Structure 1
């Protein structure tokens, strides 16, 4: 994933977008994007900004995040400025707008990617260096939008095939193994025989997997691990 992210950062910098914020969730329900710990986030934004944006829960109220939940495609951040000028923002949006202003993050474009299920949502915010006006950003998009969209969409599709290591703790190889056997319909006794462990030890690995994934049942653990691409994966060497 680091390689994909490094490539995308370099590619977007060539178009003048040096500040990127990518988010992916497979746990969306209505307007809620799921537990913060279940959202994969990569960013080149200022760490202090990200702490306030995420830990303060402001991302729940970001106009572009809300837009991305129900839409696919690209939208200029000019829309945010127009909402502010028209007095259409609620108090939470206004707080975020002022935070963005303090970090010179008022110009850019947001891409919302096609989703494979009702629970999956992903998007990326592309912002230029401080001081670049929205007119310049819109002109970049007018000239290179199709290429920018294609590069980001390919990177996003690649990310969705990689293990998303945002569990509370990474699953161990044994935890992944027993979850895979559960997913194949095997009982605890079956798994114990197959992997050469006692039933009690298998149960211990399943309990630790549930704790690592932050779920209550083994069925939920299998589903979540699958959504995070942490099971049924081919081991990569090197």
Structure 2
């Protein structure tokens, strides 16, 4: 029990996405998962996972795998992503090793299965995280070490599956509380003006509070909109809140 609590402690005390991901990768390696890939989007629709620039995407897969899976659009036909979008919980990849099941897949899905086999992504589990929003979805793919059979993974899961699910749920929830934006990170001044506007202050009020001119406030709002790739300031406030870039301490300028 103490060992398990210490594992959760590493996740819950992480202060950055990088620190959290590094700790989680190390934990999953202890259970035989040498490659993992996490994805989360707040902009899911019936036909799309949203703009890739808005995703949180973390992976220890090889660059060749990521290039093929994402840049060539294979993810749009991935059977386990399809499963994750429709379900919560964990699923073994065992059903993808049943020829009858694979033959029933669409040609696009069969291409994904063939690609995964060629890249050594053959045994593992997918965990789909529960969300309270229809527009948001997150999931993680846990790939076992090369040469490991699905039966071996399933045997390990029968013993440690509940603990693995809990650790992944903790990682997911912790990540959603941390600042993340990648190339869309705001400067300190951009965050400040968005925070005051988000609190209902006018441009003139914000200028007075920050000791700036209204023109300078407008400039920072414009730059924030450009950084976040939105057209209006309310959209910028919402997206900055999604990225947890609002009302935070000790962030770099």
TM-score range, shorter chain: over 0.9
Contiguous gaps of at least 5 residues in structure 1: none
Q: Which residue of 2 aligns with 1:224?
A: 239
Note the 1:110-125 alignment, pairs <5 A: 110-125=126-141
Note the 1:8-87 alignment, pairs <5 A: 8-82=24-98, 85-87=101-103
Q: How many residues align?
A: 236
* C-alpha separation in 2, matches of 1:133 and 1:21: 19
* C-alpha separation in 2, matches of 1:86 and 1:113: 25
Assess, with a 3 A threshold, how the Cα gap between structure 1 residues 53 and 80 changes in structure 2: closer, same or farther.
same
Q: Which residue of 2 aligns with 1:189?
A: 204
1:204 aligns with 2:226: no
> Which aligned segments of 4 or more residues in structure 1 are displaced greater than 4 angstroms?
83-86
Q: Which residue of 1 aligns with 2:19?
A: 3
Match of residue 147, structure 1, among 160, 163, 167: 163
* C-alpha separation in 2, matches of 1:151 and 1:49: 25
- For the 8 Å contact 2:203–2:217, the answer to whether it is kept is yes
**RMSD of aligned Cα (Å):** 1.6
- For the 8 Å contact 1:215–1:221, the answer to whether it is kept is yes
What's the CA shift for 1:190? 1.3
What's the CA shift for 1:53? 1.0
Q: Which residue of 2 aligns with 1:102?
A: 118
When normalised by structure 1's length, the TM-score is: 0.94
What's the CA shift for 1:210? 0.8
SS at match of 1:23: strand
1:174 aligns with 2:185: no
SS at match of 2:37: strand
Q: Which residue of 1 aligns with 2:180?
A: 164
SS at match of 1:19: strand
- For the 8 Å contact 2:102–2:110, the answer to whether it is kept is no
* C-alpha separation in 1, matches of 2:100 and 2:230: 40
1:235 aligns with 2:253: no
When normalised by structure 2's length, the TM-score is: 0.88
What's the CA shift for 1:86? 4.7
What's the CA shift for 1:63? 1.2
* C-alpha separation in 2, matches of 1:71 and 1:100: 21
What's the CA shift for 1:236? 5.9
* C-alpha separation in 1, matches of 2:189 and 2:233: 15
* C-alpha separation in 2, matches of 1:69 and 1:233: 31
SS at match of 1:233: coil
Contiguous gaps of at least 5 residues in structure 2: 1-16
* C-alpha separation in 1, matches of 2:99 and 2:22: 33
SS at match of 2:235: helix
- For the 8 Å contact 1:52–1:58, the answer to whether it is kept is yes
